[in-house]
Amino acid sequence: MLKIRNIIILLGVISCVFLVACKQKSELKEVGAAAVDPAEDASDFVVITDVVQDAILEIRYYSTYNFIGCRVDGYTEPTALLTRQAADSLLAVSEELKAQGYRLKIYDAYRPQMAVDHFLRWGADYSDTLMKVYFYPDLKKDVLFDLGYIARRSGHSRGSTVDLTLFDMATEKELDMGGTFDWFGPESHPDFGGNPETGEYTGECNSPTGRTITAEQFEHRMILRRAMLRHGFKPYNEEWWHFTLENEPYPDTYFKFPVKQL
C-alpha cells in the first residue's frame, strides 16, 4: 500500500510540474507576441515586380527628383512594395493594359510612416522651396497639406495604394498625360478638362495660369483610370495617378518598415 501511495504522490508532483511549465511557456509566448509591432510586419507584402514582372519602376522618393529634392527617409532601395492583395489586382490591370499596348510605370507604392514624417518636417520649413519651380510653381508651400496634395497621414502607409502611369510600348515613352507626377495644382485633378465619371472631355480647365489639357491627354488618363477601377481600385480626387485598393486588407494599420527588397 505504501508503495502505491508513493507512486500516486510522485505522479501528482510530475503533473504539477508539467502544468506549471505549460503555463510559463504560454505566458512567454503571449509576451513575445505582444512585443511584435503589427506595423513592423511585412509578411503580407510583396515586391511589385515579383508579381507584375514587366512593371517599370521609377521610385521618385528614392531619388532626388521629387518635391523635396533629396532621398526621402525610409526608401532604402529603389523598389516598390504592396500588400499581396493589391499586387494581385494590379497584375490584372497590367494584363488588361498590356493587350492595349501599355506597360505600368510605378512612381510610388507602400510608403513607410517615417517618409510621411519627413514630409511633415519639410512642410514646416517654409524657407525650403528648392523644388518649387518643378512641382508647385503656382502655390505657396504653406497650403500644400490643406489642399490635399500631401497627407499628414498617408493611405500609402497602409500598403494598398499605388502611384503610376502608362508606358507606351509602341513609342517606348511614357504616355502623355498632360501633366507630371506630384504636380501640385488643379491640373492634376482627374476632372481637369473633363468628367472622369463619364470619360467625356469638356475642355474645362480651371488652371490659375491658363494651362490646358487636350482631348487626347485626357483620354490617356481615362485609359488608366478605367482599368484601375475595373480591377478593384478607387481613385483620388486630387491626383490622376493615385489609386487605392477598395477592399484594402489593412484599412487601419499604418506600417513603419522601410522600403527595400523583401
Strands (E), 123-217: 161-168, 173-174, 194-195, 200-201
Task: List C-alpha distances in Å: 157 to 64, 160, 228.
Answer: 21, 8, 19
CA 150 – CA 240 distance, rounded (Å): 14
Among residues 77, 96, 200, 239, the one annotated as catalytic is: 239
CA 116 – CA 73 distance, rounded (Å): 8
Neighbours of 86 (CB within 10 A): 30
Strands (E), the chain: 45-47, 56-57, 81-83, 102-108, 161-168, 173-174, 194-195, 200-201, 233-236, 239-245
Tell me whether residue 40 is one of the annotated catalytic residues: no
Give me the active site residues, please: 239
